[in-house]
């Protein structure tokens, strides 16, 4: 593969049809098992699109409201100041508008702290500005949608995801969680970049502790069905009202304007519920990316163009984002920031400085 990445898969959807789908490379370095359309990858933060979709379906069924208070479902949750604790809503956590510093306490997720202990740490901090006024990308806080959904629907998050999304859309290889991923025979292995090149590594379980934020596993074939659902192909399962709810602009995300792969084409950027909404040359692109130890995922679609793209990689590399931005800049006829080499014989050196992270530099940590 280009950039010597071990393996990946992609799908292109146009006008309600999958027009291209392919697996490329190997599932793991040192193995002869090839990636195919059924190979399962970790989706990392693309999992947030599923959490938002399920939440919107629950709202549609009047199980709860976007304006419901989080403390009504998670009574132990507290900020430092009562005024913030009492007024944090489902809308705030799902739209990333809690106004907290980016990625609060993600280091505790990575240290495998249990969620109750992580949640307890929020009592020591307050938002940077009024709730709903400032963008702050979160994994822990976003995952509080799980108890909201479970307590309102009186069922487990995993069962609800299967019953409302995976099964109706016939996403037969999709799952949630660490054990489910490892139990799938045809799954990709994670790879990280070292001075000697890409090296296979172990699957880290930490971010599976926040299922709504980063817990979904899926194949490219399943993801093509998910994108078709976003574009209205399965209204009996995933209604137009649900699509409208999750893609409405909720908070402006100025930080996105400086992202290396997108900054030359982005005119504006917002967050909806579990989806980013990009303005590219006057056209609207619905997008999300994900990165977790050894995996990268990219999904995006344009209703205006009737087009969608899925990229899944078993390496933690910025190449997915570069391919994605290049593809869409050509679709919207904008000049891309990064040139993608198409000569498969040419090797492009990648160093640690371009390995992506979902986390910005300003991460609230606790020791």
Tens digit of each residue's pLDDT (9 = 90 or more) over 212-246 = 999 999 999 999 999 999 999 999 999 999 999 99
**Of residues 184, 210, 212, 181, the one with CA closest to residue 295:** 181
Q: What is the pLDDT of residues 80-98, one digit of tens each?
A: 999 999 999 999 999 999 9
Given a contact cutoff of 8 angstroms between Cβ atoms, the answer to whether 225 and 170 are in contact is yes
Q: Which two tokens stand for residue 129?
A: 């500005």
Q: How far apart are CA 319 and CA 313, in angstroms?
A: 9
Q: pTM for the full model?
A: 0.90
Domains recognised in the chain with CATH numbers: 2-354 (3.40.710.10)
Q: Give me the pLDDT at residue 281, please.
A: 78
* Angle, vertex CA 93, rays to CA 90 and CA 94, nearest 5: 80
- Characterise 30 by phi-psi region: left (phi > 0), alpha (psi -120 to 50), beta (else): left
Q: Evaluate if residue 364 carries a pLDDT over 70.
A: no
What confidence tier does 3 reach under pLDDT thresholds 50, 70, 90?
low
> What are the residues facing 76 on neighbouring strands?
none
Long-range contacts of 69-72 (CB under 8 A, 24+ apart): 70/144, 70/148
Q: Are 53 and 231 in contact (CB under 8 A)?
A: no
């Amino acid at each position: 593969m280009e950039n010597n990445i071990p393996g990946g898969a992609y799908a292109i959807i146009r006008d309600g049809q999958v027009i291209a789908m392919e697996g490329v490379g190997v599932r793991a370095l040192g193995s002869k098992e090839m990636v195919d359309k059924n190979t399962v990858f970790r989706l990392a933060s693309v999992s947030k699109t599923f959490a938002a979709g399920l939440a919107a379906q629950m709202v549609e069924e009047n199980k709860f409201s976007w304006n419901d208070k989080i403390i009504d479902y998670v009574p132990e949750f507290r900020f430092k100041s009562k005024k913030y604790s009492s007024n944090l809503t489902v809308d705030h956590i799902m739209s990333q508008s809690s106004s907290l510093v980016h990625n609060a306490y993600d280091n505790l997720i990575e240290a495998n702290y249990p969620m109750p202990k992580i949640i307890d740490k929020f009592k020591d901090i307050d938002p940077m500005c009024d709730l709903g006024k400032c963008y702050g990308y979160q994994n822990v806080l976003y995952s509080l949608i799980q108890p909201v959904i479970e307590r309102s629907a009186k069922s487990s998050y995993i069962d609800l995801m299967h019953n409302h999304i995976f099964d109706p859309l016939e996403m037969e290889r999709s799952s949630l969680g660490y054990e489910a991923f490892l139990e799938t025979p045809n799954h990709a292995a994670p790879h990280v970049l070292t001075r000697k090149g890409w090296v296979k590594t172990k699957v880290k379980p930490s971010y599976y502790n926040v299922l709504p934020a980063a817990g979904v596993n899926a194949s490219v074939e399943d993801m093509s069905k998910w994108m078709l659902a976003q574009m209205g192909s399965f209204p009996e399962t995933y209604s137009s009202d649900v699509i409208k709810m999750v893609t409405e602009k909720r908070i402006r995300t100025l930080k996105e304007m400086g992202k290396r792969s997108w900054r030359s084409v982005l005119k504006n950027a917002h967050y909806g519920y579990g989806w980013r909404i990009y303005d590219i040359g006057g056209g609207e692109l619905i997008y999300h990316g994900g990165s977790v130890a050894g995996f990268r995922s990219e999904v995006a679609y344009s209703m205006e163009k009737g087009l969608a793209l899925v990229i899944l990689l078993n390496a933690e590399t910025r190449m997915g984002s570069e391919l994605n931005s290049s593809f869409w800049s050509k679709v919207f006829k904008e000049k891309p920031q990064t040139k993608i080499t198409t000569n498969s014989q040419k090797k492009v050196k990648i160093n640690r400085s371009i390995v992506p992270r979902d986390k910005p530099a300003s991460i609230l940590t606790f020791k």
